[in-house]
Amino acid sequence: MAVDANTALSGAGCGAPEQDTALPASVDLEKETVLTGTVVNDEGDVVQGAYVRLLDGSGEFTAEVVTGEGGQFRFFAAPGKWTLRALSRFGDATGELEAARGLNETKLAVSR
C-alpha cells in the first residue's frame, strides 16, 4: 500500500502536512493517487479538527489526519477501494471511495 509517510501522522506538532494548503507543485496527478475532501456538519459548515481515518479495502486502519481550518483532508494512496471515516465533536461519518490515479474528491457530512 502506497501511503505517504507524512500522511500517516496526525495531531498537533506531528509531521503531517497542513491539510488546507494546495497540492505541492511536485505532485504528478498522472502518476499519483490523491484522496481529498471536506468534512461538514449538519448545517453544511466546515468542521475543523475532525479526525479522518483511511481504511483499506479489508477495513484495516491505514492512516489518519486532522482537518484544517477549511475542514479539508488529504491522503496519498494507491488506486483501489478505500473507506474514509470522520470523527468529530459534531458526530461521525463514513464514506467509500473507489480511487483512480489522479485527484479523487469527496465530502463527509458528520452527524449524531
Q: Is residue 36 part of a domain?
A: yes
User: Residue 71: pLDDT above 50?
Assistant: yes
**Number of folded domains that form the chain:** 1
Q: What is the pTM of this model?
A: 0.77
Residue 65 in any domain: the answer is yes
Task: Answer yes or no: is 18 within a domain.
Answer: no
**Banded pLDDT at 2 (limits 50, 70, 90):** very low
Q: Is residue 66 part of a domain?
A: yes
> What is the CATH number for 81?
2.60.40.10
Q: What is the pLDDT of residues 27-39, one digit of tens each?
A: 667 787 999 999 9
pLDDT at 4: 44
- The single-letter code of the amino acid at 18 is E
Q: Is the pLDDT of residue 112 over 80?
A: yes
Side-chain half-sphere CA neighbours of 3 within 13 A: 20
Question: Which domain does 99 fall in, by range?
Answer: 5-9+28-109
The answer to whether residue 16 sits within a structural domain is no
